Structure 1
Amino acid sequence: MNLLKFILLFSILLPIEFTSFALSFQKKAFGPPLEQGRPALVIHGGAGTITRKNMSEDMEQAYREVLKEALETGYAILDNGGSAVEAVIAAVMVMEDSPLFNAGKGSVFTNEGKNEMDAAIMEGEYRNAGAVAGITTVKNPIKAAFEVMDNSPHVLMAGKGAEKFAAERHLEIVDPSYFFEEKRYQQLQRIIDTERQQLDHSHLSELEEDPFFKDQKFGTVGAVALDKQGNVAAATSTGGMTNKRYGRVGDVPIIGAGTYADNRTCAVSATGHGEYFIRNVVAHEIASQIKYANKSLKEAAHHVIMEQMVDFGGSGGVICIDSKGNISMPFNSSGMYRGYIRKKGNPKTFIYNDEAEGL
């Protein structure tokens, strides 16, 4: 074969060989398709000191109605063949738009009297992720996190830069006053007053009976989903910790701490005392125990939240789903707003730690 013929043959075969190599590499990198279950969606709206004695019937009903709306909104997307990413965004946005939850409209206040929000999203097929931290003007922070994932080369953007990027992506920008909620502001004032009294225990007891007080450390909303294509995704959004200072950022936008998704293991969204979730890399730890210790989803999630975190002194919970549709929602606090849906018209919502979840 002369040189000209060799060059011509090589130029024809190169795209075929390269494509074959790329497909082979992708299979090795991301693994073969896993057995998938039917679509499902799981959500949480924060964990903490949530007990029946501190909850009026009207307030409980209000929480359950928003949880139900979030479940039905997200599941409608899955039922129509939409992606897990689309479903978790839709579910989280319902809770961001409600003043009942510490995310978006209901975000708590910093020590300076501002609302600074964090959010993150991750998809399980290629493990792409996006997050924002310390934003103050984006109506729905979870949409900003998605734009970072889908339309930037980055994973995490913060502060003014994240807000500028969100505006360039034509997201809805609002005046910071949009996020002002009187109950949240009064909560901040009471906590500041408590600090002045050097944590007088009688005053602290009164705060703990306030259903909004649980969001001082534990308020977050999140969703995980499995779609008809067998892909999982996780999304989390929060206003952070009441009375936080100095640009504090919690676990939510830290991929692997408060948010994680991988088709080969599971999708996780966390709520709790963020510093502990960061130090224990909780979301990734659950996935790692499935991957390397061959634990089931339930075993891994329960071990991390009910044993490792308790031993470490951390409080909170997680929601998890795997590519087979298994669900787990463990928490080590007295309550966690949560729910799941596996069938149209049949959302399940829970608040307290003694409710039978049927999982």
Structure 2
Amino acid sequence: MFKFAIIAPVLTMAALAFSTNAAAQKDDDVSWSIAIHGGAGTIERDKITPEKDAEIRTALNAALAEGSKILKAGGNAMEAITATIVLLENDPNFNAGKGAVFTWDKTNELDSSIMDGSDLSAGAVAGVTATKNPILLARAVKDKSPHVMLSGKGADQFSREQGLEQVTPDYYATPRRLKQIEDVLAKQVSVKDVDYKFGTVGAVAMDSNGNMAAGTSTGGMTAKRWGRIGDSPVIGAGTYADNRSCAISATGAGEYFIRLGVAHEICTRIKIRIRNTEKMAEKAILKRKNQEKAVKFRLGNVRLNDEAVQKIADEVIAELGQIGGTGGIIFATPWGQAGYSFNTPGMYRGRATSDGAASVSIYGDEE
């Protein structure tokens, strides 16, 4: 993790945690970034075979490459995260779409959400039972309905009306997920033992126009009951995007992410930090009686550095842990940063940026 660079009381241009947007990218470059996740939890080397490790990394690399290809070609952030999440939903290794876990009643109830940071439009679905790719249904709610969230039978009906691909229950019945629910129902293991990792998937991105987007998709908790809904479809808890601050997708113990409003909280703290930085910069500049430069800062030409962004994300995840929550988030910022923060032993994750940096990781001791 990064360390935060403290701003000294006597401010100089070098000491401030900002730069102008124009200076933040090369003249001839298309600036973009993307981060993805496939769940966080007790993901440790002794719990994953080398073969499964390789399989997960291959899936993460494929999803990251898909989103990166779209962004590199000048595509928008919404298209990039949608295509990325569809690939992850189609992979049975993750608890979303094809790999969704079973409820107590041995059914599948899937949740998803998506948000566009350019206009704060959003769509979400909860408890859907027959849509192959719930992220496409969340996108349809955003784009083709007057609502933000649909649930249960109504969401299923809307999905059919939109012509989205439907599947029968056997589509989700992967051997691994069936064994998990059967073991729980037979009380051979506890739900906690089964869900040693959270397989929720998500993606966040910034495109070459500076627009942000975030999306999250999940099958929820193994053996969940009574129509339980976690944070994944809750805008502000599991998903949030705002061009003025960041894009966030979360994974983990959903009840705690909802209580803290994790996704929105991180974006809000970034906006507050930006405002404070602007004010401090203005004061420093006005002391030198340079009104013209002070006005430029009021126009929003400020960015936070890597250390400041990481510190904010880490602080919120630390607070999540203080109330008993486990999990993590991925983030993208308007300045091309992409990263993550988590308080679990591992997290399936990856990130790529237009400067050529790209990586996927699983365990906590990896970058």
Q: Which residue of 1 aligns with 2:118?
A: 125
Q: Which residue of 2 aligns with 1:301?
A: 313
How many matched pairs? 310
Q: Which residue of 2 aligns with 1:143?
A: 136
* Matching of residue 247 in structure 1 with residue 258 in structure 2: no
Q: Which residue of 2 aligns with 1:223?
A: 203
**Which has the larger helix fraction?**
1
Deviation at 1:192, TM superposition (A): 2.6
* Matching of residue 188 in structure 1 with residue 181 in structure 2: yes
After superposing the two structures, state which structure 1 stretch, 293-302 or 259-268, moved more: 293-302
* Residues 231 and 255 in structure 2, CA contact (< 8 A), matched pair in contact too: yes
* Residues 195 and 221 in structure 2, CA contact (< 8 A), matched pair in contact too: no
What amino acid maps onto 1:341 in structure 2?
Answer: A
What amino acid maps onto 1:319 in structure 2?
Answer: I
Pick one of 311, 325, 331 that aligns with 1:314. Answer: 325
* Matching of residue 292 in structure 1 with residue 272 in structure 2: yes
TM-score, reference length from structure 1: 0.83
What amino acid maps onto 2:204 in structure 1?
Answer: V
What amino acid maps onto 1:336 in structure 2?
Answer: M
Q: Which residue of 2 aligns with 1:233?
A: 213
Give the Cα separation in 2 of the matches to 1:223 and 1:106. 17
Larger radius of gyration: 1
Pick one of 327, 339, 352 that aligns with 2:350. Answer: 339
Pick one of 225, 242, 250 that aligns with 1:270. Answer: 250
Give the Cα separation in 2 of the matches to 1:308 and 1:352. 22
What amino acid maps onto 1:125 in structure 2?
Answer: S
Give the Cα separation in 1 of the matches to 2:269 and 2:340. 16
Give the Cα separation in 2 of the matches to 1:344 and 1:276. 35
* Matching of residue 282 in structure 1 with residue 294 in structure 2: no
Give the Cα separation in 1 of the matches to 2:84 and 2:358. 13
* Residues 337 and 353 in structure 2, CA contact (< 8 A), matched pair in contact too: no
Give the Cα separation in 2 of the matches to 1:328 and 1:66. 18
What amino acid maps onto 2:89 in structure 1?
Answer: E
What amino acid maps onto 1:332 in structure 2?
Answer: N
* Matching of residue 70 in structure 1 with residue 70 in structure 2: no
What amino acid maps onto 2:314 in structure 1?
Answer: H
What amino acid maps onto 2:347 in structure 1?
Answer: M
* Residues 338 and 352 in structure 2, CA contact (< 8 A), matched pair in contact too: no
What amino acid maps onto 2:328 in structure 1?
Answer: G
Question: Structure 1 unaligned runs (5+)?
Answer: 1-32, 198-202
* Residues 297 and 328 in structure 1, CA contact (< 8 A), matched pair in contact too: no
Give the Cα separation in 2 of the matches to 1:264 and 1:244. 36
Q: SS at 1:325's partner residue? A: coil
* Residues 34 and 230 in structure 1, CA contact (< 8 A), matched pair in contact too: no
* Matching of residue 349 in structure 1 with residue 360 in structure 2: yes
Give the Cα separation in 2 of the matches to 1:185 and 1:259. 28
Question: Aligned-pair RMSD on alpha carbons?
Answer: 1.9
Give the Cα separation in 1 of the matches to 2:156 and 2:169. 12
* Residues 111 and 217 in structure 2, CA contact (< 8 A), matched pair in contact too: yes
Question: Structure 2 unaligned runs (5+)?
Answer: 1-19, 26-30, 275-303
- 1:177-232 superposed Cα distances (whole Å, 9 cap, x missing partner): 211111111111222333xx7xxxxx569x84xxx6324xx220000001011001
Give the Cα separation in 2 of the matches to 1:319 and 1:214. 20
* Residues 130 and 167 in structure 2, CA contact (< 8 A), matched pair in contact too: yes
Q: SS at 1:300's partner residue? A: helix
* Residues 75 and 344 in structure 1, CA contact (< 8 A), matched pair in contact too: no
* Aligned counterparts, 1:82-231, within 5 A: 82-194=75-187, 208=193, 213-215=195-197, 218-231=198-211
Give the Cα separation in 2 of the matches to 1:188 and 1:89. 29
Give the Cα separation in 2 of the matches to 1:172 and 1:45. 23
Q: SS at 2:123's partner residue? A: strand
Q: Which residue of 1 aligns with 2:278?
A: none
Give the Cα separation in 2 of the matches to 1:123 and 1:299. 24
- 1:49-72 superposed Cα distances (whole Å, 9 cap, x missing partner): 110011111000000000000001
Q: Which residue of 2 aligns with 1:19?
A: none
Q: Which residue of 2 aligns with 1:55?
A: 48
What amino acid maps onto 1:270 in structure 2?
Answer: A
* Residues 338 and 353 in structure 2, CA contact (< 8 A), matched pair in contact too: no
* Residues 339 and 351 in structure 2, CA contact (< 8 A), matched pair in contact too: no
- 1:29-62 superposed Cα distances (whole Å, 9 cap, x missing partner): xxxx966761111000000111001111100000
Identical columns (%): 48
Q: SS at 2:81's partner residue? A: helix
Deviation at 1:166, TM superposition (A): 1.2
Deviation at 1:345, TM superposition (A): 8.1
* Residues 105 and 178 in structure 1, CA contact (< 8 A), matched pair in contact too: yes
* Residues 223 and 234 in structure 1, CA contact (< 8 A), matched pair in contact too: yes
